[in-house]
Structure 1
Amino acid sequence: MSHTTISSFTRSAEQAQHWVNELRDDLGWTGEKDAYRLLRAVLHALRDWLSLEEVADLSAQLPMMIRGVFFENWQPSLIWQVTDRSKDDFTLRVQKEFGSEAMDDPDKAVAAVFRLIDKHISPGEARQVRGQLRKSLQGLWPSH
């Protein structure tokens, strides 16, 4: 059994803050709150678009606090109610969870989160996640 120490929580909080700051800077946004809301919305949509096995594989590579956001309010029994997994449906889902303010360019915002995730997970896992997305949505994920 592994023991999580306070320093592990501190490190995880620092990693999560780094992810939010990195996303904010990539988009040229000024607000951390908006970057966090976008990251959360994309993680939730992605989680619900992937197979259960891939959700587990991807989550294993996320920092502890980001993993917590990824699984927040998750109801696995409801994910299969998502019938059309197109790019437009994905970006609409992200926009809805993001909140009342419309994003100027939802595709650009989603692509920024995909770049962030791609940067921080293994290339093999990135290929697996990308491969589970419809072709139109794959176009927003970096290809190597």
Structure 2
Amino acid sequence: MSAQGLEVIDHTVQLTHEWINELKDRLDWTSARDALRMLRTTLHAIRDHLDTGESAHLAAQLPLLIRGMYYEGWMPKSTPIHSRKAKDFIATIEASVGDVLDYRGPEDIEAVFRVINNKISRGEVMDIRSNLPHDIRALWPEP
């Protein structure tokens, strides 16, 4: 039992650390803070390319804390964005994480996709991928 009696919070903190640690290991980065920023930024880029229904389905499978970050700053009226090119998707992410010393480019974005593949259901990953523009979907390995 949690010291505060708030097991749901303790559990989501634990799950969030698991996601961040797995990503940090896959990236081989030194900073968990930078790995979290990479995760949040990539999730936002994915979210902004999905319609509201598919975005909500993805969010439902995220740990509570990550789900909050996922929805942070979201403007559903503005989504899905119309850019269909992978280079624009990558540029959006790089605008937020390009200053991270360990950042290597699209291979680090792929690491986020691999964490998602590992952490949520295969069916949901396939749904998300099928709702992304082909050029962006090509960046995301199949689960």
**Structure 1 residue 124: Cα displacement:** 0.8
Contact 2:42 2:112 in 1 (8 A): yes
TM-score, normalised relative to structure 1: 0.88
> Secondary structure of the residue that 1:49 maps to in structure 2?
coil
Measured in 2, the distance between the counterparts of 1:14 and 1:125 equals 22
**Structure 1 residue 140: Cα displacement:** 2.1
Q: Residue in 1 aligned with 2:114?
A: 115
Contact 2:52 2:79 in 1 (8 A): no
Q: Is 2:115 aligned against 1:136?
A: no
Q: Residue in 2 aligned with 1:8?
A: 8
State the one-letter code of the partner of 1:109.
Answer: D
Identity, % of aligned positions? 36
Measured in 1, the distance between the counterparts of 2:116 and 2:131 equals 15
Q: Residue in 2 aligned with 1:73?
A: 73
Q: Residue in 1 aligned with 2:126?
A: 127
Measured in 2, the distance between the counterparts of 1:122 and 1:101 equals 30
State the one-letter code of the partner of 2:24.
Answer: R
Matches within 5 A, 1:19-30: 19-30=19-30
**Structure 1 residue 100: Cα displacement:** 3.5
Deviations along 1:88-129, one digit per CA (max 9) or x if unpaired, are 111111111225347643211111111111111111111000
TM-score, normalised relative to structure 2: 0.89
Contact 1:20 1:36 in 2 (8 A): yes
RMSD: 1.7
Deviations along 1:40-91, one digit per CA (max 9) or x if unpaired, are 10011111011111001111111111101100111112224x3212111111
Runs of 5+ consecutive residues of structure 1 not aligned to the other structure? none
State the one-letter code of the partner of 2:31.
Answer: G
Contact 1:95 1:102 in 2 (8 A): no
State the one-letter code of the partner of 2:73.
Answer: N
Measured in 2, the distance between the counterparts of 1:79 and 1:119 equals 26
> Secondary structure of the residue that 2:79 maps to in structure 1?
helix
State the one-letter code of the partner of 2:47.
Answer: R
Contact 1:48 1:79 in 2 (8 A): yes
Q: Residue in 1 aligned with 2:57?
A: 57
